[in-house]
């Protein structure tokens, strides 16, 4: 990241690069995990005489919460790195 910053990349392009990669991975993981979780949880809940029905909003809310936490983490790390002097980090690397 320091090399990109030293060569003149904008803050938004660096942040967009990291955000798009992570969000794509989270989207793929969500697409894979939601049907598996739906199936396993419905099978698990069938063993009880009193059980609730699974709603789609539970899975959507958990996916949105996960993406929100990921965005906050990416934003914090990107701002922290972009506020440092690139010469300092390149010197230590």
The residue assigned the tokens 């709603």 is: 55
Identify the pLDDT of residue 32: 95
**Is the Cβ–Cβ distance between 54 and 44 less than 8 Å?**
no
Q: Does pTM top 0.85 for this prediction?
A: no
Q: Name the pLDDT band for 87 (thresholds 50, 70, 90).
A: confident
Nearest residue to 74 (alpha-carbon basis) of 31, 25, 3, 28: 25
Long-range contacts of 5-8 (CB under 8 A, 24+ apart): 5/82, 5/86, 6/86, 6/87, 6/90
| Percentage with pLDDT > 70 across the chain | 94
93, pLDDT greater than 70: no
**Is the Cβ–Cβ distance between 54 and 38 less than 8 Å?**
yes
């Amino acid at each position: 990241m320091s090399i990109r910053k030293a060569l003149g990349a904008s803050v938004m392009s660096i942040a967009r690069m990291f955000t798009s990669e992570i969000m794509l991975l989270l989207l793929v993981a969500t697409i894979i995990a939601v049907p598996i979780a739906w199936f396993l949880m419905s099978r698990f809940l069938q063993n009880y005489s009193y059980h609730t029905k699974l709603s789609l909003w539970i899975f959507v809310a958990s996916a949105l919460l996960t993406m929100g936490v990921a965005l906050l983490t990416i934003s914090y790390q990107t701002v922290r790195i972009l506020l440092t002097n690139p010469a300092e980090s390149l010197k230590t690397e």
